């Protein structure tokens, strides 16, 4: 799943973070594990934020374990990235919320026997579901019947399965051994574990088969979980449609089921809906007929169909799915339109139809996402050497969606900002986001859907792979000019390192027996760190062998479940390397190392220690020894080479090396660690990297800069060493390096945000860096200019206006004034939409603020709406900031609340007010509070 929370940072260019975070899929800092005193969150407004995506941490707690509720998944399949506030603000927020939250200590292993307590009984196992759902979009209700085929594994006097928020009707069970149907009597409901128990009069004998029938009904609410309603405006009226979001444990909200990933079954879906609507599910429809009362009405759904009299309804039946987990079942009903195309698959040769559905007002913005899906789907089949098994692949774009996107098999779903863009006014970041999310979700058709983790402990097998394959390896084949392998360093690697530098981090593979706490692990560690570790492994063994091993893994686990060892076995077979031994600590241990490099006449000495953002680790926190691929770049006779075979497997070692020639560890920044050089050596490497013909690559420069700022902040290096590096690179031409520099300086601003005299000096320094770039590049975007040039211009303008440059502010104000007065947006390039709106409101007043509200209410594109939210959060007027908090409470869409929090948090003038608002409105916004405290953003304006 792509967690939209993991991508917020990409939209927040003003850093209010104290901790280094780049705009990665999960920029999760100042991680706060909290649990509200109110346990029934269904009554709260922002119920949708109940994830731990994904995705997107001061030392409030130690060594987290998945043992309490973090309400919000951050992502891609699925994908928001927020960086943290300063520790002083978090401390204030934490104190002010003390009456509502408790901060719990976590451990890394579950107590003995925990898993059995939290898992469903194994006396019966579902093999097939027939699910019939009637959707009433006028009454906002649904009604259904589920028939479940069961294998009885042990003598069974009772049936236990998952349900939540459903009104359960009559339940019966037929046993082939007993040759009789009996009533399944409701016995109890476990609210905490969301389990219903039915008692049976006659015991089902072991080895037999049975069929359970349960009638049920429910309400279509706006909580973005289970089967829920979304709304849109059409010809001045609000219209509703319904769709599902089941991951991780919300299928039970739509129909009674065994809602655990290991309990795979086949599903045959039947949808009953009004005749003028469109119904969708995982598989293609095999029939669709208008209902005629009394004609060919199956007896077991007669009661459901009886309520359709005097109206025109239809019944749509779908093909049976392959074996699959309940969390990727999907269906939807509404007034949708679609675009379509098809692809011929390279292995099977079959033609697979592709569609993208959404409402009529935005369907014209869906073509690019459809094109991306068509480009990547055949590539996955070819690279994995495993056929795509379904006969179609649809995407449904929703106005209200909790995560960024969701990889339902055959029916991907997601929010508008994840899939839509205006083909005539698409900014570079929006285009990259749509491509990444769509590709990420398609990757899940293999990682997660064909082969599924056995339990949520192994979530990274889904999300880490979907991140690496879906956002790097496959997109690099489709969009080579985007240099996604380099962008990975800021979008994922650095965000993972920032989160994992905290004592409150957790291992990639973390024991999480209680399903109520699964959302905790949808974070930058399951997505970005997992992807980074897999990327490091791929670089070590070679990408070709790595992908061969992945293919072997998938083939061995077709339509089955897997654990970490299964993956290591596949890659070991392909490489001849003991992958389990090599990778164990990277997956099961918290943190990552910093390599300290010193020199003598014979070469270099390398020592590994755990890296913490607070400085040197205490011995008790520094026990892990990682197997570290050193990727040592050295030079001889003017030529460079990289030794990818060298591994540090002990605390320290010495390597013979000619240190009079350029050298560097972690060549191309493929390793999941930081490197600390002496100030003199760092200056030498930086000087060499600044040369046109340097032996050091773009990726090397990015990694050097990120490490330098992180090490300075942790007190392991001097700040002057980072600033020396920046000074040496003033003539840098690459956008990605400038982005790292901007991030680093922005984080310094956030540390000192309540010290205006320091902020002023840092902003003056920022102006010296970025205003010359604005003067060089200007404000206009040539049609055929490179993507990097466009991104560098946008970055320079954002940084300059954030630093308060008068010339840039006046230029952006002028462009907004023209737009506001005439409605003509031609003077605002799509890539400058956000900084223009930001400048207009921050340096404007009531008129500009009101304009943001108008744009927010009727945006032309998802990007324009996001820019308006950002603008509202930028105002310096206390009265307008108060209005923004009221807007959040009364008007903002649930899915957008986190954006308001992020952008207001980026505004130094809003931070104290926002803390007060959170304290006073906690009972209303508690779910979002939890997410916001976890997912603070990296922003720089």
In sequence order, the 6+-apart residues with CB closer than 8 A to the CB of 429 are 10, 11, 791, 794, 831
Tally of CB atoms within 10 A around 114: 15
Residue 310's Cβ-side half-sphere holds a number of Cα atoms within 13 Å equal to 1
pLDDT at 774 (0 to 100): 98
Closest by CA to 629, choosing from 534, 557, 723, is 534
pLDDT at 926 (0 to 100): 62
CA–CA gap between residue 61 and residue 776 (Å, rounded): 48
pTM for the predicted model, two decimal places: 0.87
What three-state secondary structure class fits 859?
Answer: coil
Could you write out the DSSP letters of every residue in 413-442?
EEEHHHH---TTS--HHHHHHHHHHHHHHH
CB-based contacts of 601-604 (< 8 A; 24+ apart in sequence): 602/654, 602/656, 603/654, 603/655, 603/656, 603/657, 603/658, 603/659, 604/654, 604/655, 604/657, 604/659, 604/663
pLDDT at 37 (0 to 100): 30
CA dihedral 571, 576, 581, 583 (to 10 degrees): -40
In sequence order, the 6+-apart residues with CB closer than 8 A to the CB of 284 are 318, 319, 391, 392
Output phi, psi for 560, to 5 deg. -130, -170
What three-state secondary structure class fits 65?
Answer: coil
Query: Length of the chain, please?
Result: 941
Tally of CB atoms within 10 A around 768: 10
* pLDDT < 50 stretches in the chain: 4-65, 67-112, 932-941
441 in catalytic set: yes
Structure tokens at 714: 């942790």
pLDDT at 923 (0 to 100): 73
pLDDT at 922 (0 to 100): 77
What three-state secondary structure class fits 850?
Answer: helix
Asked if 674 and 497 touch (Cβ cutoff 8 Å), the reply is yes
Catalytic residue among 260, 381, 407, 441: 441
Residue spans of beta strands (DSSP E) within 637-772: 639-643, 647-648, 652-656, 663-664, 674-676
CA–CA gap between residue 609 and residue 595 (Å, rounded): 7
* HEC secondary structure over 478-535: HCHHHCHHHHHHHHHHHHHHHHHCCCCCCCCCCCCCCHHHHHHHCCCHHHHHHHHHHH
Q: Is the peptide bond before 440 cis (omega within 30 degrees of 0)?
A: no
Structure tokens at 918: 């959170």
Residue spans of beta strands (DSSP E) within 246-312: 266-274, 278-281, 285-290
What is the CA angle 447-451-456, rounded to 5?
Answer: 80
In Å, how far from its chain's centre is CA 715? 31
């Amino acid at each position: 799943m792509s967690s939209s929370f993991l991508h917020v940072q990409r939209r927040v260019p003003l850093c209010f973070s104290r901790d280094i975070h780049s705009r990665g899929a999960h920029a999760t800092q100042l991680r706060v594990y909290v649990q509200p005193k109110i346990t029934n969150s269904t009554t709260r407004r922002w119920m949708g934020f109940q994830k731990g995506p994904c995705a997107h941490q001061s030392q409030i707690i130690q060594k987290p374990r998945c043992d309490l509720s973090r309400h919000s998944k951050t992502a891609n399949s699925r994908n928001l990235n927020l960086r943290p506030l300063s520790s002083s603000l978090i401390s204030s927020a934490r104190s002010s919320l003390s009456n509502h939250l408790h901060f719990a200590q976590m451990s890394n292993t579950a107590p003995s026997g925990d898993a059995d307590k939290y898992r469903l009984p194994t006396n019966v196992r579902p093999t097939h579901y027939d699910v019939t759902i009637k959707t009433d979009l006028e009454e906002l209700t649904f009604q259904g019947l589920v028939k479940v085929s069961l294998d009885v594994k042990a003598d069974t006097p009772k049936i236990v399965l998952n349900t939540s928020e459903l009104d359960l009707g009559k339940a019966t069970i037929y046993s082939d051994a007993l040759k009789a149907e009996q009533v399944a009597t409701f016995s109890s409901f476990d609210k905490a574990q969301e389990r219903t128990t039915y008692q049976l009069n006659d015991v089902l004998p072991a080895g037999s088969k049975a069929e359970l029938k349960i009638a049920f009904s429910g309400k279509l609410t706006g909580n973005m979980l289970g089967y829920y309603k979304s709304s849109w405006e059409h010809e001045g009226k609000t219209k509703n449609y319904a769709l599902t979001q089941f991951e991780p444990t919300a299928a039970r909200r739509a129909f009674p089921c065994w809602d655990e990933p290991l309990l795979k079954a086949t599903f045959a879906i039947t949808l009953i809906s009004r005749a003028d609507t469109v119904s969708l599910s995982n598989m293609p429809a095999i029939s669709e007929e208008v209902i005629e009362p009394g004609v060919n009405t199956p007896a077991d759904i007669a009661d459901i169909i009886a309520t359709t009299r005097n109206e025109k309804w239809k019944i749509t039946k779908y093909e049976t799915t392959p074996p699959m987990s309940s969390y990727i079942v999907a269906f939807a009903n509404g007034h949708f339109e679609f675009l379509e195309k098809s692809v011929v698959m390279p292995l099977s040769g079959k033609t697979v139809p592709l569609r993208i559905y959404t409402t009529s007002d935005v369907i014209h913005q869906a073509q690019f996402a459809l094109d991306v899906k068509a480009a990547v789907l055949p590539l996955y089949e070819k690279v994995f050497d495993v056929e795509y098994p379904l006969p179609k692949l649809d995407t449904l774009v929703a106005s209200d969606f909790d995560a960024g996107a969701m990889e339902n098999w055959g029916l991907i779903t997601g929010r508008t900002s994840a899939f839509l863009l205006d083909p005539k006014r698409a900014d570079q970041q929006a285009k990259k986001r749509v491509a990444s999310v769509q590709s990420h979700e398609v990757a899940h058709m293999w990682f997660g859907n064909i082969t599924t983790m056995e339990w949520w402990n192994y979530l990274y097998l889904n999300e880490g792979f979907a991140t690496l394959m879906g956002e790097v390896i496959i997109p690099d084949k489709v969009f080579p000019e985007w240099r996604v392998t380099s962008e990975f360093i800021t979008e994922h690697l650095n965000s993972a390192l920032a989160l994992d530098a905290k004592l409150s981090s957790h291992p990639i593979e973390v024991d999480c027996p209680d399903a109520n706490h699964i959302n905790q692990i949808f974070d930058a560690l399951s997505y970005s760190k997992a992807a980074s570790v897999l990327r490091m492994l791929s670089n070590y063994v070679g990408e070709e062998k790595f992908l061969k091993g992945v293919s072997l893994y998938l083939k061995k686990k077709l339509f089955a479940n897997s654990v970490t060892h299964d993956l290591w076995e596949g890659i070991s077979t392909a490489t001849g390397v003991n992958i389990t031994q090599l990778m164990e600590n990277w997956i099961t241990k918290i943190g990552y190392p910093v390599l300290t490099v010193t020199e003598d006449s014979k070469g270099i000495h390398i020592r590994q220690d755990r890296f913490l953002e607070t400085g040197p680790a205490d011995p008790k926190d520094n026990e892990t020894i990682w197997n570290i691929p050193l990727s040592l770049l050295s030079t001889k006779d003017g030529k460079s080479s990289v030794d990818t075979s060298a591994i540090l497997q002990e605390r320290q070692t010495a390597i013979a090396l000619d240190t009079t020639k350029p050298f560097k560890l972690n060549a191309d920044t493929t390793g999941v660690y930081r490197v600390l050089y002496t100030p003199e050596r760092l200056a030498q490497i930086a000087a060499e990297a600044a040369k046109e013909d340097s032996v050091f690559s773009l990726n090397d420069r990015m990694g050097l800069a990120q490490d330098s700022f992180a090490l300075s902040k942790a007190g392991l290096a001097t700040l002057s060493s980072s600033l020396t590096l920046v000074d040496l690179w003033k003539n840098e031409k690459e956008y990605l390096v400038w982005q790292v520099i901007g991030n680093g300086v922005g984080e310094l601003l956030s540390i000192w945000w309540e010290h205006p005299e320091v902020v002023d000096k840092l902003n003056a320094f920022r102006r010296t860096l970025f205003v010359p770039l604005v003067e060089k590049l200007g404000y206009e975007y040539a049609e055929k200019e490179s993507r990097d040039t466009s991104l560098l211009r946008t970055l320079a303008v954002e940084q300059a206006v954030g630093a308060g440059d008068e010339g840039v502010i006046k230029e952006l104000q002028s462009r907004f004034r023209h737009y506001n007065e005439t409605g003509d947006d031609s003077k605002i390039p799509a890539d400058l939409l956000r900084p223009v709106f930001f400048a207009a409101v921050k340096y404007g007043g009531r008129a500009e603020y009101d304009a943001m509200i108008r744009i927010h209410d009727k945006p032309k594109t998802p990007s324009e709406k996001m820019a308006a939210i950002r603008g509202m959060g930028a105002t310096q007027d206390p009265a307008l900031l108060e209005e923004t908090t009221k807007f959040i409470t009364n008007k903002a869409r649930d899915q957008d609340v986190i954006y308001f929090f992020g952008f207001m948090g980026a505004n130094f003038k809003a931070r104290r007010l926002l803390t007060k608002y959170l304290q006073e409105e906690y009972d209303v916004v508690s779910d979002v509070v939890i997410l916001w405290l976890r997912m603070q953003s990296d922003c720089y304006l």
